[in-house]
Amino acid sequence: MEEERALVEMGVEDFDLAGTLSCGQVFHWERRGAGWVGAMGDSAVYLEQKEAKLFLSAGEEDRVRNYLSLDHPWQTIRESFPSDPALDLAVEFCGGMRIIRQPSWECLATFITSSLKRVEQIGKISLRLRRSFGERLECIGGEVFSYPRAEKIAGLREEDLRACGLGFRAKSLLGSARMIAEGQVDLVKVRAMDDEGAMEELRRLPGVGEKVANCGLLFGFERLGAFPIDVWIERVLIEGYFSGESGVSRERLREFTRDYFGRFGGYAQQYLFHHARTTGVRIGRQG
DNA sequence: CTCCAGGTTCCGG
DNA sequence: CCGGAACATGGA
């Protein structure tokens, strides 16, 4: 078919496309047939994996390689991990999953809208914002939409955002977009800061606390040592590393995760998160 | 109908 | 510094 010719093939090693796109680090990729469609920033692309081959929209090879972090040294990362029952299991389950390079604003904005929402809901909010206020793009799998720029959102009203299902998060997203549009926070400068400085700067934005800032740093600024602690990771840590002890303080968890998981701690975190969430380990809940 | 979701912020002790 | 509560919305 005519469309088939617009796909090119790329060899990949130690890579899992489905896991990478659906592990909860990015929320707007949609399944289309045997593959996925979505926007990498302002570029639409179709992606499909068959074993060690990746099929993608022609002309997007370099962007895809970069976006999917195919250059990350997966074996090195894996070997840098400590060995313990919880992490060993998660690494085996998540083999080939990459921390991708998301544009910093859309990553940060998406996580601002993530608080007290399930992963599926975060995706729906992202897609509604994109369809309502983003740019329409086309690729082989159909149409997709880019994430609206901070300047675009800054010009909207809170109720416009609430119409996309944001609830109380609308105020935070709007406030953050305005601070960035006005230049009060410069994400380009954040990129040049050290981890602590970047964290401090991001937390000036409304709706950005420690957890969201860490997600931003890990997924949007390639700080692979950042270790976001959410309710899932907290359970995993307490069950797997603190013998189920109750009342482990935030500070103790922070201190433990800062050194224990090594310089690629963010990778370990995402593997633990995805494994726990996917295998349905739910402590303190029935079912 | 009730409960809860990749949290943040504000408040009182 | 710490624990609690409010905060909107939608799906189970």
Q: Which of residues 84 to 143 on A have a Cβ less than 7 angstroms from any strand C atom?
A: 116-118, 120-121, 124
* C-alpha span between A128 and A134 (Å, rounded): 9
pLDDT at A218: 98
Average pLDDT, chain A: 95
Q: Who contacts A12 (Cβ-Cβ below 8 Å, separation ≥6)?
A: A49, A52, A53, A54, A70
Q: Answer for A231: CB within 7 Å of strand C.
A: no
Instruction: Measure A169 CA to C4 C1' (Å).
Output: 21
> Whose C1' is closest to the CA of A162: which nucleotide?
C8
CA distances from A86 to A23, A74, A78, A256, A287 (A): 17, 19, 14, 15, 22
Q: What CATH number is given for A7-69+102-220 in this structure? A: 1.10.340.30
Q: Where are the domains of chain A?
A: 7-69+102-220, 74-98+226-279
Over residues A155-172, mean pLDDT: 98
pLDDT at A247: 83
Model confidence, pTM:
0.96
Over residues A196-214, mean pLDDT: 98
pLDDT at A3: 52
> Whose C1' is closest to the CA of A170: which nucleotide?
C8
Nucleotides of B under 7 A from a protein CB: 4-9
Over residues A165-180, mean pLDDT: 98
Q: Give residue A118's pLDDT band: very low, low, confident or very high (50, 70, 90).
A: very high
Q: Give residue A5's pLDDT band: very low, low, confident or very high (50, 70, 90).
A: low
